[in-house]
Structures are given as structure tokens and as C-alpha cells.
Structure 1
Amino acid sequence: MARIYATPEQLTAWTGQPAPAGAERLLARASADIDDALLTAVYATDAAGMPTHPDTVQALADATCAQVEYQLAMGDDGTGAAGRWDSVSIGPVSLSGRRQEPTASGDVDLAPRASRALKRAGLLPGVIW
């Protein structure tokens, strides 16, 4: 069973905007991205693999919401396909050039704000000794 770290209500609170259509799907995909980023992180979980410490629960929810926010800003639906295009225009904002794709199999295009939330919680960088 997939772990989903945030709710549409938490996404609404994070962005200050109503949750988009398909928010559950976006949150599930973003949660998978967070799982990929935390492959070597060590933290307490319950039998379902969900974090148990309140600070970790909050950090994963924040990171998941930040990941969805980032994907929506990039014009992505969580599939990663939007990052393959050479230019993007949204109103007066225009971006061009090829975005650098993750190169290792465990790499994920992690939102900067998601990365910072995980670092503040002591979850990144995950190192196994």
C-alpha cells in the first residue's frame, strides 16, 4: 500500500489556494517522490511504514505539499513528462533550455522547499553507517 504523507486540506493550507483537481493523485505521486528521496533516511515508523514522531509527520507532509506545489509551477502532473520540454511560458514568465534530469536511478527531481523541509527535520542527507 502506498504511503501518502499529506491531505488535500494540508495542500490547500500550504499553497493558500484550493486543492487542484486530482489532488489525491498528485499527493500520492509527490509522496512517492519523497519516499525516493528518503531511501537512506532513518526514522521511526509504524507497521504500515508511516512516520510516528510528530515532527517527522509534519516534515513529510510539508515536503509532499512543497513537491506538489513545485510540480504544478513547473507545469508537471507528477509524471515527470513536463520536465522534458525545452521551453515553458506562463503569462509573462518564460523559461527555456533543457532541464537537468536526475541521473542515478534513485534520484528524484525534488522541490527545493521539499528538500529544505526534510533537511530541517534531520531526514536529509540520509546516511547509513
Structure 2
Amino acid sequence: MGRVYATPEQLAIYTGTPAPEGVDRLLARASEDVDAALLTAVYRVDDDGDPTDPAVVTALRDAVCAQVEWQLATGDDGTGAAGQWDSVSIGPVSLSGRTAGPPAASGVDLAPRAHRALRAAGLLPGVIW
């Protein structure tokens, strides 16, 4: 198992609700999603490969918590198997069925709030200068 950037306690504080059943698996998968989005990001790490800048540590923690929160809200279990929608009606327009939609540029479906946390910390788009 790779690095996990947030604890169940941190997730509970972030969401304001108790950590759900299977939280360790959800946090691990969300951490993998964040790592995939940061494939070209450059930041300082220690000898174990853990980030050392407190702002980066905070951004990674918040991004993982946002990713889990989003997955729980959308009915995803971290596998990516949940669809984007099942039934939507807006005026005369009606959509139904589940589709995954186009893949994100990073190849991972990253939660909007997770993306914002990483971008605000300067970790995205991950351009190497």
C-alpha cells in the first residue's frame, strides 16, 4: 500500500461527520487518486518520500478528504465504478442511465474540491521548470 495522506480522524473533522465504515480503504484509494493527479508535481520530500512543506502536507490531506467526501456523496466506493448520474430532469430535458464520462486529463476522476486544494498549493498542473 502506498502513502495515505489523511487519517480517519482528519476526515471526520473535514466532513463534520463520523468516518464511515471501510474508511482506511477509502483513504488509501483517494490517496492513490491524488498521487495519480500529481504525477508531474515537484515538491520537497524527506528520505521516506513524504512531503516536508506544511502547506503541501495540508493540501494533500485536504485533497484526500475532499476526494473521499465526493466519492461518498456520489455513491462511489473508490473503485470508479459508480456512474455520474442515474436520472436527471431539468424542465423538458431528461437524462437517465449511468455513464463514466470522459476521463480526466490526469486519468483520474478528481473531486472539484480536491483539485482546488492541489491547485491552490501550486501542485497542479505539475509543470516542471
- Shift of the 59–20 alpha-carbon distance from structure 1 to 2, 3 Å rule, reads same
Q: Which runs of 5+ in 1 are unaligned?
A: 90-94
How much does 1:96 deviate?
3.8
Shift of 1:69: 0.4
Question: What is the aligned partner in structure 1 of residue 7 from structure 2?
Answer: 7
Moved more, 22-31 or 46-55: 46-55
Answering whether residue 102 of structure 2 is matched by residue 101 of structure 1, we say: yes
Give 1:62's aligned amino acid: D
How far did 1:99 drift? Answer: 3.7
Q: Which amino acid aligns with 2:25?
A: R
| Aligned 1:1-129 pairs, distance under 5 A | 1-83=1-83, 87=86, 96=96, 98-102=99-103, 106-129=106-129
Larger radius of gyration: 2
1:56–1:33 CA distance, 2 compared to 1 (3 A): same
How far is 1:88 from its partner?
5.9
Query: In angstroms, what is the RMSD of aligned CA positions?
Result: 2.0
TM-score (norm: length of structure 2) = 0.86
Distance 1:82 1:123, change over 3 A: same
Using the size of structure 1 for normalisation, the TM-score is 0.86
**4+ long deviations beyond 4 Å:** none
Alignment coverage as a number of residue pairs: 122
CA shift digits 1:11-66 (9 cap, x unpaired): 00010000000111100000000000000000001122211111100000000000
